Structure formats: C-alpha cells, structure tokens
A and B are shown apart, each in its own frame.
Chain A
Amino acid sequence: MKPSPWVRMDTWLRHFVPFSVTLLLLLLTAVPSRFPGFAGITPMLPLMGVYYWAIYRPDLLPPWAAFGLGLLHDIVSGTPLGVNAMVLLLVQGVTVSQRRFFLAKTFLVAWWSFALLAGAAIGLSWLLVGLVNHQPLDPAPAMFEYLVTLGLFPLLTWGLARTQLAFLKDV
C-alpha cells in the first residue's frame, strides 16, 4: 500500500535531519567565542557530524552533501575554497568504505578510529592551506584544535545518537 502524502512528507523531512544537524554544527563553530583562553579554538564539529552519519546513515549524508558542507565551511571561515570540501569528502568516503568495521565495534574503537581519521583530516587541511598560501602554518593551533575535537567526541556522539533515535528510528 502506498503511504499517504503526509507520511511521505514526514519521511522526506526526517531524511533531511542528518544534513541539517551537520549544518547546524557548522554554524555553531562559527559563533564567536570570547572566552579568554578558548579564543578562536574551534573544534571541528562538522567533521564529527560527517563521521557519525557516514557510519550510521550513509544514505542520508551522501558524498555531495559532505562536499557541500565543506565548501560552506570554507566560505564562512575564509579558508581557501575547496580545502574543507576536500577534507570532509575524503572523511565521508573513507568512513563509508570502512563502515562494516565500525558498526560492530565498541564506542572506544569508534573513538580511536575517529582520533586517527580526525588527525589525518586536520593534518591534510593544515597542509593544503599551507600549500595554497605558499608558506607553512604554525602547527600548534591545529594540534590544539585536534585535541579539543577529540575531547568533545563522546558528548557529540551522544547528542547525535539521541537525534538519530528521535527522528530516524523507523525511517
């Protein structure tokens, strides 16, 4: 039996949740934080969003969506165009290809794999921006950003899991 238009629209809207949540994470990182000591340290929240949805709902955050989010990131943050687009796209691709491995494993394994992947991602964006600017960047802020991102991973994964349960349990 064909579902009613309302049900279809509901499903359709729910399918937008992963993209919108990741977009929200991106906008959140852009909010100026004026806490002394945390100045300008922006955890890579969109990276976590892409990682999570690539494992649990790769159908709802396809490569082009990761690409688009990355491009938007570049536009908002003023990094050279294409850098974050490339990085998020590769993170999505690598995670989806290793999806079976992640699904069966414990949280700690997911955290550990994220640590490797995020390290590679931040390293790559650091390298690409340095290349585009024709001079190497200071690695210290990137390292710090990486550590803050890792520290926030459990909290964010919990939030994303709650979101998934709330909106995407049956669809």
Chain B
Amino acid sequence: MRGKQSGAVGRLATIRLLAQRFAFLSLVAAAFLLMILGKADIVLIERTRTMIVDGLAPILDVMARPASAIAEVVEHVRELASLRTENARLKTDNQHLQHWETVARRLQNENAVLHEQLNFVPDPDPAFITARVIGDLDSALGQTMLLNAGSRDGVRKGQAVLSGESLVGYIVDVGDRSSRLLLLTDINAHLPVMLESTRTRAILSGDNKDRPKLGYIAGNPNIQVGDRVVTSSSGAAFPPGLPVGIVASVADGTTRIEPYVRRTELDYVAVVDYGLGGILPFSDKPPPPPPTRHRGGAEN
C-alpha cells in the first residue's frame, strides 16, 4: 500500500518537474520571440510598451525628485570649491563675449536691413514644451531617457529635444503622459548635420560612446578639431543651424564630435516643434496633401 502511494507521489513529482521545465523553456522561447517581434515594429507591442511606461511614469517622477535634489546639493558643493578659478574664467569669458556682443549687434542691424531689402520670409517661432527627465537606465546598452511629458502635452514623435540652445536628441516614443528621448549618442541615432564653417554635409551617427561619429561626409573637406557642427536641412527633419557639438578628434578616417550637452547635465529639456516632419516620418497622422498651387490663372 505504502509502496504504491510513494510510487504515485514519485510520479506526481516527476510530472511536476517536467511541467516546470516546460514552463521555463516556454519562457525562454517567449523571450526569443519578443526579440524578433520587437524588431518588426508591431503597433500592438509598441502601444503596450508605451502604456506600461505611462503607468510607471508617476512613480518614476516621484522617485526622480529626491535624486535631483541630492544632485543639486552635490553640484553646489562642487561649485563652492571651484569658485575662484570659475570666477577668473568667467571674467576672461566676459571680456571675450563683450567684444562679440558688439559684433553681433552690428551684424543684427545689418541683417535686419538685408532682410527688409530681400523680402525675406522669417522662420516661424517654434513652440516648445519643457519636460523633466524621469528615467535614465542602462547606458551600456542604449542611450535613451524617459521624459514626463507625452501626447497630452503636445509631444510628438520625431520632435527635436534641446537643452539650452543645443540639440541633445529627438523623441522616438510617445505615450499619453511620458515620452522617450533618444540621445544623439545612441546606437540608433542618425542625424543630418553640417560643418558650420564649410557647409559640408554629413550624417552624425551614435555608437553608444560619449562622442558620436561623422559619416557620409560630402566631398573631401579639411576637417579641423574644434569646428562647429550644426544641424542641416537635409531630409527636412530639423531646421538648419541648431548647434550640436564641436569636432573633437579626427583620426584614422573617423571624425568624432563632442556634443555641447553632456548626459549628466540633463535635468529639464525642451521638446521643440518646428512644424517640420521631424526625423521620424511615421507620425500618427498621414502627411497633409500637397497644397494646390495657383499660378495666376494659367489653368483657365
């Protein structure tokens, strides 16, 4: 009797063990499947993803606040320590900038006159949304951040994200109340840029290092360390001339850019709407139909 019972128990244990193995293996398979499906940009998966992030956003927001306060205190202490040298540096900077201010004022006047003479159409003033960074994870595997503003605040996929005057990245995912910022340094970030002095066009590509590299450089220009790099109008993604960074190194055919904004400095960012298509042409709405042209009654 007892032998029979323990046999039954043994069988039950074997079945349970097999079931556990099977469950484990199916989970491994599920993870694999997700990796493949995630690559295919399936709408349902993407929507679920942004929905979960949306749900977590308030928690992350609350958790980010004390961290931000602590970072501020640390920053204050550091500033105190370097007050003297900082002051000296600012004085020389100020002298330098005062000279530039005079130059800029003269150029501004000249520019205004020229604009008037040429009937120049000015760029529209962009609308912007200020958002806070609430999540920043896994720099080793990707460079994205979560922002606490989403579609209900007017954030759209592909919009440029600036810190101060400089471009830091663009929006790749938008939820209802959160969005994901892809930094220029991310391996998936590609951006049309140009060298400001020579107007040479190129593509800036991140590779998860601090300094993204320049590729597809048009022509064979002489690139110098220290050249300013700004966005170009190619692809109608961003307005031309947004500062991106300066050339940091030119070696072995690889040109690397030091972005103006460091990742650590990002706390508040501006999500800017220039009314252009943005770098990701896939928006929720289809593009507007081309405007019908009126050529002075030529069709009649």
Query: Please, which residues of chain A bring their CB within 8 A of the CB of B209?
Result: 138
Cα–Cα distance between A77 and B264 once the two chains are bound (Å): 17
Tell me whether B224 is interfacial, beta carbon within 8 Å. Answer: no
Cα–Cα distance between A41 and B138 once the two chains are bound (Å): 7
With both beta carbons as reference points, the residue of chain B lying nearest to A63 in the complex is identified as: B24
Q: Is the CB of B53 within 8 A of A76?
A: yes
With both beta carbons as reference points, the residue of chain A lying nearest to B78 in the complex is identified as: A36
Cα–Cα distance between A167 and B114 once the two chains are bound (Å): 75
Tell me whether B37 is interfacial, beta carbon within 8 Å. Answer: yes
Name the distance in Å between B171's Cβ and chain A's nearest Cβ. Answer: 12
With both beta carbons as reference points, the residue of chain B lying nearest to A36 in the complex is identified as: B264
Cα–Cα distance between A33 and B266 once the two chains are bound (Å): 10
Query: Please, which residues of chain B bring their CB within 8 A of the CB of A73?
Result: 137
Q: Is the CB of B63 within 8 A of A77?
A: no
Tell me whether B195 is interfacial, beta carbon within 8 Å. Answer: no
Cα–Cα distance between A125 and B35 once the two chains are bound (Å): 12
Tell me whether A154 is interfacial, beta carbon within 8 Å. Answer: no
Cα–Cα distance between A72 and B32 once the two chains are bound (Å): 15
Query: Please, which residues of chain A bring their CB within 8 A of the CB of B248?
Result: none
Please encode chain B, from 35 to 62, with 1 for each CB lying within 8 Å of some chain A CB and 0 for all others: 1011100000100010011001001100
Q: State whether A40 and B263 are in contact (beta carbons under 8 Å apart), knowing that A93-B24, A138-B207 are contacts in the complex.
A: yes
Interface size on B, residues (CB 8 A): 55
Known: A31-B136, A32-B267, A81-B45. 5 other contacts (CB 8 A): A32-B135, A42-B136, A63-B24, A137-B187, A144-B140
Query: Please, which residues of chain A bring their CB within 8 A of the CB of B28?
Result: 86, 89-90
Cα–Cα distance between A126 and B141 once the two chains are bound (Å): 7
Query: Please, which residues of chain B bring their CB within 8 A of the CB of A133?
Result: 187-188
Jot down 29 A-B pairs with beta carbons below 8 A, ordered by A: A27-B56, A27-B59, A30-B63, A30-B135, A30-B146, A31-B60, A34-B264, A34-B265, A35-B264, A40-B136, A42-B137, A42-B139, A75-B49, A76-B56, A76-B60, A77-B135, A77-B142, A78-B138, A81-B34, A81-B38, A82-B35, A83-B35, A89-B27, A90-B28, A128-B35, A135-B187, A135-B207, A137-B208, A138-B207
With both beta carbons as reference points, the residue of chain B lying nearest to A143 in the complex is identified as: B140
Q: Is the CB of A67 within 8 A of B27?
A: yes
* Chain B residues engaging chain A, CB cutoff 8 angstroms: 23-24, 27-28, 30-35, 37-39, 45, 49, 52-53, 56, 59-60, 63-64, 67-68, 71, 74-75, 78, 133-146, 173, 180, 187-188, 207-209, 262-267
Q: Is the CB of B133 within 8 A of A32?
A: yes
* Chain A residues engaging chain B, CB cutoff 8 angstroms: 27-36, 39-42, 63-64, 67, 70-73, 75-83, 85-86, 89-90, 93, 122, 125-126, 128-129, 132-133, 135, 137-138, 141-142, 144-145
Name the distance in Å between A146's Cβ and chain B's nearest Cβ. Answer: 9
Q: State whether A75 and B35 are in contact (beta carbons under 8 Å apart), knowing that A42-B139, A89-B27 are contacts in the complex.
A: no
Q: State whether A79 and B141 are in contact (beta carbons under 8 Å apart), knowing that A32-B64, A34-B71, A128-B35 are contacts in the complex.
A: yes
Cα–Cα distance between A30 and B61 once the two chains are bound (Å): 10
Q: Is the CB of B146 within 8 A of A40?
A: no
Q: Is the CB of B63 within 8 A of A75?
A: no
Q: Is the CB of B146 within 8 A of A39?
A: no
Cα–Cα distance between A87 and B34 once the two chains are bound (Å): 13
Cα–Cα distance between A90 and B27 once the two chains are bound (Å): 10
Cross-chain contact of B53 among A64, A75, A81 (Cβ < 8 A): A75
Query: Please, which residues of chain A bring their CB within 8 A of the CB of B265?
Result: 34
Q: Is the CB of A79 within 8 A of B31?
A: no
The listed residue with most A CB atoms (<10 A of its CB), out of B24, B63, B67, B74, is B24
Q: State whether A141 and B139 are in contact (beta carbons under 8 Å apart), knowing that A32-B145, A67-B30 are contacts in the complex.
A: yes
Q: Is the CB of B24 within 8 A of A142?
A: no
